[in-house]
């Protein structure tokens, strides 16, 4: 009888833990969304931009499934030019940066979307490097 009660209580604990985990994960937002999902965002806007010759590197943002995401984009980018575009984020107000999504411009002129944060120390920027050695980034946002 004691074994049955113990087994019953362990089963209840396990089921309760699993149910709690599944509810929590279902409501959590994705940290990164694909480029196809970025394209599906209807309310795209530009947060920051930096001119480079006849084109711009832009930090764009918009809402997907109730979560705000940001991504890097090249606007008016010449198709015969090579380089790289990426998104960086910082959790210490820009003292250090982490590359979050990077693409060769021969593949795409924009990156995946990365979830933004309401933390005042979390900032993002879009960057570009072309065939020359210069690196251009937008201001942090």
Report yes or no: 72 and 126 within 8 Å, Cβ to Cβ. Answer: yes
Largest CA distance in the chain: 80
Q: Is the pTM of this model over 0.85?
A: no
pLDDT at position 3, please? 39
**C-alpha to C-alpha distance for 74 and 128, rounded to whole angstroms:** 8
Say which residues have a Cβ less than 8 Å from residue 138's Cβ, sequence separation at least 6: 47, 48, 49, 50, 57, 58, 59, 125, 126, 127
Task: Provide the percentage of residues in the chain whose pLDDT is more than 70.
Answer: 79
List, for residues 61-86, the tens digit of each pLDDT value: 999 999 999 999 999 888 788 899 99
């Amino acid at each position: 009888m004691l074994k049955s009660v113990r087994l019953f209580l362990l089963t209840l604990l396990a089921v309760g833990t699993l149910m709690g985990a599944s509810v929590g994960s279902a409501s959590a937002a994705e940290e990164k969304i694909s480029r196809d999902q970025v394209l599906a965002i209807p309310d795209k806007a530009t947060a920051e931009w930096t001119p480079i010759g006849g084109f711009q590197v832009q930090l764009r943002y918009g809402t997907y499934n109730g979560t705000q995401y940001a991504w890097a984009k090249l606007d008016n980018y010449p198709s015969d030019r090579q380089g790289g575009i990426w998104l960086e984020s910082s959790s210490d107000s820009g003292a250090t940066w982490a590359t979050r999504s990077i693409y060769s411009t021969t593949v795409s002129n924009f990156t995946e979307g990365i979830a933004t944060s309401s933390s005042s120390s979390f900032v993002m920027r879009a960057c570009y490097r072309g065939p020359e050695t210069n690196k251009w980034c937008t201001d942090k946002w």
